[in-house]
Amino acid sequence: MRHTMMRLVASLWIGLLVVVGSGCASWQSMSKDDAPPSIRTRRPEPSLPTVAQAAGLQPRPELPPPKTVAPAVAPTTSPANDRPEMSLDQLIDIALENNPTIFAAQAARNAAQARFGIARSDYFPLLNVTYSYNRATNNIAQGISAATGTAVPRRVTDISVNNNNLTASLSQNIFDSFRREGRVEAARESLEAASLDLSTTRQNVVLNVQQAYYNHILALRLVRVNQEAVERNIQNLNRARGFFEVGTRPRIDVTRAQVDLANAELALVQARNQATTTLATLNNAIGVPDHPPYRLREDLEIPPIIGTLEEYIRTAMQNRTELRADQARIRSAEASLAVAKREFLPTLGATANWSYRGQDYPLAPNWLGGVTLTVPVLNPPRFSQLEEVAAELASAQASEEITRQNIVLEIQQSYATLVNAREAIQTSEVLVQEARENLELAQGRYEVGVGPLIDVTDAQLALTQAESQNIQAIITFKLAEAQLRKAIGLLE
């Protein structure tokens, strides 16, 4: 009985398949005979859903076939393989030679060097040589002689005589209550601060190059990720069209694949634009905005061990050039304050003068020598000057404390970012692996007809996001590492 039932069911299925096959063959034959020549080789597409027609929506035009997408490289005028390869160290060397901010800091240091030389020149004597010649009359009005007290008769003539005067004068600051030493000390500390500012500027340039370098690598990697996403969406679209052509999948799979491809292409365009922008930023950071095209040698090594926060803070307090420059400015302000206080004390100077003068040659020689003692008695502006210098010292001390606190904050932020980025790298690597496996499973289910296309597109989107998060975590780590090295003063 059981075998009889099984034979009956098999006979019914065979008969049903024969009837359906005959109907399909007749329908296809009739369609080919009745259709216009231009569409006889194409399967008629189903109409839009009845719900859309009932809602009054216009039929959506079919999207164009997928376009060929260019490789994921930065836009240049020459092939990528023909461009020279540039490492991060090479870019830093170019920046240190060409960045204009370094030139400005060097000029400021040269000015401080000149002011230091001016302050030291007070240790040396001043020597001036002058020669004057004039011709003048010697008329006298009537009056009383100041020397003799006798009457002087009026004498007016047209006679004029020559006057020649060759004079050499020498002056020397002997003792000014140590004002000279204070000015030299203040200028020396200002020069030290300017030198440290130059070092800070160089470190900032290096940091800017590193940040631009890693951001450009991130942009190029995102171009690559989005390029792969476009290629996967093209494969989805081709599969969906093939399944739709044989009638195993609905047309909505095709339209969805086209929409996903369009979104992926838009993301790729945006990624390429970001790559172009970051390249311009990198060239600006190295001080050569019109640098010829080049390829980057990627350096994304993650160190296995990082130090402790306390070690970094202790190192920064010893090495940070900004902090040392502020301390030098404090010492300079203290020296200036000492000079301002000594303005109330006497000074002693020496002068010597030798002259060769007369009306006609040979002239007559004369000499003069002496010392000058100056004792300030009343000079009200000096009190205000003293208050001004004291206020500048207080400002320098406050600036040093602000710099110290900012350094600690900078290290804490960079260290926290570094630690979090390290954990994010490990997590994102797991996400990439799982997303790739999930995509393979979704694609396999879709190809055998047991899974919807939305599972494939969701899995592709998840993989793209996971790959983007992974490279962003790596770049975040490298940026935080560079920022931390700058924060502890070990970047240059």
pLDDT in tens, 167-210: 999 999 999 999 999 999 999 999 999 999 999 999 999 999 99
Task: Please classify residue 8 by burial: count the beta carbons closer than 10 Å to its beta carbon, then call 0-12 exposed, 13-18 middle and 19+ buried.
Answer: exposed
Determine the residue type at 118: I
What mean pLDDT is reported for the chain?
83
For the stretch 4-19, pLDDT in tens is 444 444 444 444 444 3
67-88 mean pLDDT: 58
CATH at residue 303? 1.20.1600.10
The answer to whether position 369 is within a domain reads: no
Residue 306: CB atoms within 10 Å: 17
Alpha-helix residue ranges (DSSP H) falling in 287-320:
309-319
Please tell me what DSSP assigns to residue 72. Answer: S
**Reported confidence tier of residue 80, pLDDT bands at 50, 70, 90:** low
Number of domains in the chain: 1
For the stretch 93-151, pLDDT in tens is 999 999 999 999 999 999 999 999 999 999 999 999 999 999 998 888 877 777 777 88
Alpha-helix residue ranges (DSSP H) falling in 320-380:
321-342
What is the predicted pLDDT for the residue at 394?
Answer: 97
The answer to whether position 17 is within a domain reads: no
To which H or E segment does residue 370 belong?
strand 364-374
In 113-270, beta strands by DSSP E? 126-137, 143-144, 151-152, 160-175
465-489 mean pLDDT: 94
Q: Across the chain, how many H-helices and E-strands are there? A: 10, 8
The answer to whether position 198 is within a domain reads: yes
CA dihedral angle for residue 358, residue 364, residue 367, residue 368, rounded to 10 degrees = -40
Give the pair of three-digit tokens for residue 460: 């592709």
Give the pair of three-digit tokens for residue 179: 């004002």
CA distance 422 to 60: 47
Q: What is the pTM of this model?
A: 0.75
For the stretch 312-369, pLDDT in tens is 999 999 999 999 999 999 999 999 999 999 999 999 999 999 999 988 888 899 999 9
The answer to whether position 7 is within a domain reads: no
**Reported confidence tier of residue 67, pLDDT bands at 50, 70, 90:** very low
CA distance 291 to 324: 35
> Domain span at residue 226?
80-126+178-347+379-487
Give the pair of three-digit tokens for residue 177: 């209550």
β-pairing verdict for 347-358 and 364-374: antiparallel
Residues in the chain: 492
For residue 52, is pLDDT > 70? no
**Reported confidence tier of residue 50, pLDDT bands at 50, 70, 90:** very low
**Reported confidence tier of residue 492, pLDDT bands at 50, 70, 90:** low
**Reported confidence tier of residue 291, pLDDT bands at 50, 70, 90:** very high
β-pairing verdict for 126-137 and 85-86: unpaired
β-pairing verdict for 295-296 and 85-86: parallel
Give the pair of three-digit tokens for residue 492: 């240059």
22-26 mean pLDDT: 42
Percentage of the chain exceeding pLDDT 70: 83
The answer to whether position 240 is within a domain reads: yes
Bridge partner residues of 352 (DSSP): 170, 369
Pairwise pLDDT comparison (334 vs 58), residue with the higher score: 334
